[in-house]
Structure formats: C-alpha cells, structure tokens
Structure 1
Amino acid sequence: MQQKLAVVILNYNGKHFLEKFLANVVSFSSPHAVIVADNASTDDSVSFLKRNFPNVQLIQNPTNTGYAGGYNEALKQIDAEYYILLNNDVDVKANWIQPLVELMDSDSKIGACQPKLLDQKNQNMFEYAGASGGYMDAYGYPFCRGRIFETVEEDKGQYNDVKQVFWASGACLMVRSKLFWQLGGFDSAYFAHMEEIDLCWRMQNLGYKIYVNPTSQVYHVGGGTLQKQNTHKTFLNFRNSLITLIKDHPSKGLFFKIWVRMNLDGIAGAKFFFTLQPQHTLAIIRAHFAFYFSIGKTLKKRKQLKTLEGYEPRFENIYNKSIVYTYFIKGKKKFNELEW
C-alpha cells in the first residue's frame, strides 16, 4: 500500500548533522516515514544510524552520485504519494509537515512546494538557499523572496503569505512522486546545484505550479556564500544555470539570453580576478567549456521532454527584468523593493 508521504534525507559524510538534527526530524514527522539515503559516506554515518536509529529506514547508495543522482537512486525504492526531500543540515519543529500536505492536497496542479527557510544559527534571518520561495529574472538568474545575491533579509513576517513562486528550494522540497517520475526525476548530469530549479521549471512547462507555504518553517545550516576554496560550487552553478536555460526556456529569445548571460558571466569572472580570486575565474571558464560540450545532449533532452503530453517550454511568473542591473546598478537589494 502506498504511503501518503515519506521524508527522505540524502546524506554524505554528514554524521555530525545527523547527530544534531535527525532526532527532531523523526519526532516531529510522525506518523510519516523518515528515510535516510546514504550516498556512500566514508565517515561513520552508516554505523551511527544503525546503532542509534534502528527504526529509521536506511538506503545505501553504492556510489556518491551527488544530490541529483543520489535522490534518483533512493526514490526509486520508496512508494509514497509525496516525497519531502530534506537536507541533513535542516532542523524542524512541531507541525512542520501538515501545512505543506494541506497545500498540496488543496490543488492537484501544485507540483512542488517549500516551507519558509530560516537560518539555523540566526533564526530571525532568512536562509540563503530558499528563504521564502525562489524566483528567476529575465536572464535566468535565480534569487529568493528574502535573499537577493548576498543580501539576506531579516524575517519580520513580510513574506508570510502563501504564494506561487518559480522554484522551491532543494533544502526542503515537497514534490508529487508521480509527477517527479513522469518528468524523469532530477537530471543526474547536474550532480548538484540548480537541479531543483530545473525540476520546478519542467513542472511548470507541463502546466503545474510551484508554491511556498511560510506557515511551515524549518531551520537550515546551509552556507550560501562561496568559500574561496570552493571552486567546484562556482563551476556547477555557472554550468548548470546555462544548461537549465537551454533545456527549459522557450525558443523565442533563448539564444539572445544565452549571449547576455555569458557576457554577464564574463563580468563576474573579471570581478573574481580583480578581487584576487582567479581560481573562481578559471572555474567560470571551465563551466562555459563544459556547457559547450553539453549542448548536444541537452538539446536531445529538451526534444524528449516535448514528447510529453501538454509539455511546452514556458517562462512565466518571473521577474521580467535584470536582477543584476536592479541589484548592482539601481541598488535595490530587498525583494519588496523590486518593481514588477
């Protein structure tokens, strides 16, 4: 018999997070199943789980295939109407699930949703990875209601309304399982970063909606600002952003936007170089070359998606301006300052 819902935590070398947060997730998710999918951790995660949480189902992936591949592999083994994909560094409190379930149950065309994401260490602040729902600008730059680039806002209740958004955060993402698999799950070529935005965009191309329900709130350790040594994150973000555009955006205006994006990426690379972070400049260059080599495969995926009944690339419910210009030139750094 299919479960109503399963909370699925993907873990890679996160024993320290499991020690800190898993007990709350188990306690406050009852009666729903909590499942940990371990992505071939090399720390003591698996033995810790077996020893301390014997009633939590453990799925052991044979290799680390990242967020996208790891979840795809694990979710194949779980039969539930809804999945809640929860990062291992997220803390929860009582009644975090029910508002999300009620929202999804209220409208069969809502494909995915998220709660409000707050900073686990500073709980009056939004959290970088998702805040109160994700948006996209005209050139495919993602930002959040409560976080634009590096400006993270204080939560004063200003974004407490249940609202349709463009993407929901992979830190705590609730999805319809049937729709997830209809679209082929996450694109495992992404490895990590941007895969939830790609999934949400594909859902919208199939006529579904994405929502945030801030009545539910969770607390994410995260860490949005890239560290200097974290050039792989830079590579993945820049590469995957371009891949997402060419896969999901309508044909009209696509190549102009790609051209604009690549020029803006060049400016970002120059900024890294002149602020003595040339390793990030090189990561952007590598990302562009990786994007060039991926175009053929990405266009095949785009063509295959269009064979789904009702699937048509759309670019709606967006900020139809440049968030780069608005933020850096006009100086508008808060979501409620944007002119729509």
Structure 2
Amino acid sequence: MGTESIAGLTSVIVVAADSGPLLRSCVESILAARDPLELLLVDNASGDGVVEQVEAAHRADARLRVLRNAGNLGFGPACNRGAAQAVGDVFVLLNPDCIAPHDFIGRVRAALSSDPRIGMLGVQVTDTDGRPARGNRRRDPTLRRALATLTGLARLEARWPAWQGVEMPPANGAGVETVEAVSGACMILPRAAFERVGGFDEGYFLHAEDLDLCRRVRDAGWRVAIDPGTRVAHAQGSSSRARPLFVARHKHRGMWRYFTKFDPAARNPLLRAAVWLGIWSHFVTAGLLKSARRR
C-alpha cells in the first residue's frame, strides 16, 4: 500500500482543513518528542494560512513533511494519502486540535509491544481541562445500542445487559483494555494492520470512518484496545466551527453508511427506511436550530 517501512520509526499523520491556530500547538507537541518520528501534515486545501505558518516555523526540521491536496478530500482519504507516503512501522492518526505529551510516542509504542495482537490502540482523550471525553471506550453503534443511548435506557445496563449503549462503562483496572472501538481523535496502529485492512474506507468523508476502521481491524483478527494511562488533550470541534452545517451533513452521511454496511437491522426494509428517515430528520432539525441560534 505504501513505501518500505523503517523499524522503530513512528509516522504521525495529521490532517488539516482550515483547522485554525491549534494546529500550530499540535505540531509543536509532536515535534517536541524525543523518540524517532516523522510528521506528515496532510493539507485538505486549507485557506486560513496556518499550514504555511507551520511550514515556515519548522522549515529546518526534516521530520516535518507537508502534503497538499488540491481540494478537501475528507479525513479518511487524506489519512490514506499520508499513510502511502509514510515510512514508519507504526502509524499515529491524530486530530489537528490535539496536544500530545512529550513521552506520547514512547508510551504508545510500549503499549503496542505489550501484545502483538493489538491492531488498533486508543488512548484517554480528554478535554482541555483534563476530563475524559466521550467516545474513548465504545461499542459498535448498532441500532439497538444507539436507541438505548438516545433514550437513556443505557443507564440500566448494569441491571439489564440487553440495554447496553454505545459508550462502555468506566474500566475497573488501569492496564491496556480490549474495547470494540476507540476515539477517532487519536488512533495508533501497526503499519501491518493498517495495510492489511486497506486503510480507511474512502466512501466516508467525515465521521464514522473511525468506527468502520476499528470494526474492520477486529474482523481481520486483530485486537482493538485502549491504554487509559496515556492522555491526549483534545479541543473538540475546533476544526468544524466555521462550517457547522457542512460538517453535520457529512456526519449524518457517515452514520448512514456505517449502518448499511454493518448493522443486521439494515437488511429489514422497514427498519432501513425508518433509520434513514430518523438520521435525515435529525440533520434537518439540528440544522434549523443552529441557523436560528446564529441569527
């Protein structure tokens, strides 16, 4: 899929799309690491000038490479372009509004090395105040689980496991733990696992491509896990505030694509139609509310 890899080198792939000034902090946090790495900054035709600022500030650092796309390809396709140019044996897929600690690379490589069956590793993604974010420890978002989460019935799963939701309850231990899906804000994969599954499904533009990748990694026989002892701060949504309706539309498209690919309920025509109507009704309603608030 890509070039020959270099053992012990970590390829950090960051996709920018008018991501704003936090991109500078993200790049600085990665380049502050002492471990062998390369940073591939894949620019989806940003117009805010920040990618150029980053490139100028780190021109002397050979570890940084900027790859430019002629248009906005979406997150997954841009990650695939970066992976095709990467030379590391481990890939870190990091959102442009994430800040990583200086020992991040060493910690995640140690976690991967603890079990060669790990094909996808997540970390404890937090908000800027250090509170754990949603989505760190997830299950596959089947229709039943999504409804349990939306209705609040998931709160009863300790008593009635049939009503388990998408979010998994907090872990009891502190070690690396098996989950079904991790946060798309920070995903770490051995190069071999990424290439085995063919990278991201480019039918997604934004949202749910991370869930899709986790699912296919598991289906290929690898373990999806999280290392809760390693933290990354995420200023969630900073890349999407300028175009909320654009982002929302692609999020809903991603939800629909995931449902039709993986959920057995999609084989039922009535359920399929109901889910389609529910997804796009939610998009319209949310869009109207956002427009009203902006006015």
Q: TM-score band, normalised by the shorter chain?
A: 0.7 to 0.9
What amino acid sits opposite 1:41 in the alignment? S
Q: Residues of 2 paired with 1:228 and 1:2: CA distance? A: 38
Counterpart amino acid of residue 27 in structure 1:
A
Q: 2:45 aligns with which of 20, 40, 43?
A: 40
Cα shift at 1:10: 1.1
Cα distance in 2 for partners of 1:202, 1:184 equals: 9
The percent of aligned pairs where both chains have the same amino acid is 21
Aligned partner of 2:267: which letter? F
Task: Give TM-score, length-normalised by structure 1.
Answer: 0.66
Determine the structure 2 residue equivalent to 1:197.
Answer: 211
CA separation of 1:34/1:45 partners in 2, compared to 1, >3 Å: closer, same or farther? same
Give the secondary structure class of the aligned counterpart of 2:221. Answer: coil
Alignment partner of 2:182 out of 161, 168, 182: 168
Question: 1:219 is matched by which residue type in structure 2?
Answer: A
| Cα distance, 1:267–1:170 mapped onto 2, change above 3 Å | closer
For residue 180 of structure 1, the aligned residue among 158, 170, 194 is: 194
Q: 1:271, CA displacement in angstroms?
A: 6.8
Matched residues in 1 for 2:70 and 2:46: separation? 9
Match of 2:140 in 1: 136
Contact 1:66 1:191 in 2 (8 A): yes
Q: Counterpart of 1:314? A: none
| Pair 1:255-2:259 in alignment | no
Structure 1 residues 239 and 277, CA gap change in structure 2 (3 angstroms)? closer
**Partner in structure 2 of residue 13 of structure 1:** 18
Distance, in Å, in 2 between the alignment partners of 1:228 and 1:190 is 20
1:24 aligns with 2:38: no
Distance 2:241 2:173 in 1: 29
How many angstroms does 1:29 deviate by? 5.5
Matched, 1:240 2:246: no
For residues 223 and 61 of structure 1, do their structure 2 counterparts lie closer, same or farther at Cα, with a shift above 3 Å needed?
Answer: closer
CA RMSD of aligned residues (A): 3.4
Distance in 2 of aligned mates of 1:248 and 1:80: 31
Q: Output one character per residue of 1:169-202: Cα deviation in whole Å (capped at 9) or x when no partner.
A: 2211101222212222111121111101101111
Q: 1:119 aligns with which of 89, 102, 127?
A: 127
Cα distance in 2 for partners of 1:199, 1:23 equals: 27
| Residue matched to 2:6 | 2
Aligned partner of 2:83 in structure 1 is 75
* Alignment TM-score, normalising by the size of structure 2: 0.76
Aligned residues of 2:245 and 2:287 also touching (Cα < 8 A): no
CA contact (8 A) 1:231 1:279 kept: no
State whether residues 43 and 69 of structure 2, in contact with CA within 8 Å, keep that contact through their aligned partners in structure 1. yes
How far 1:109 sits from its partner (Å)?
Answer: 2.0
Question: Displacement, 1:161?
Answer: 4.3
Gaps of 5+ in 2: 156-166, 290-295
CA deviation vs aligned residue, 1:104-148 (integer Å, no higher than 9, x gap): 22222211111100002x22x2224x3x322224426398xxxx9
Distance 1:57 1:278 in 2: 37
Which runs of 5 or more residues in structure 1 are unaligned? 281-340
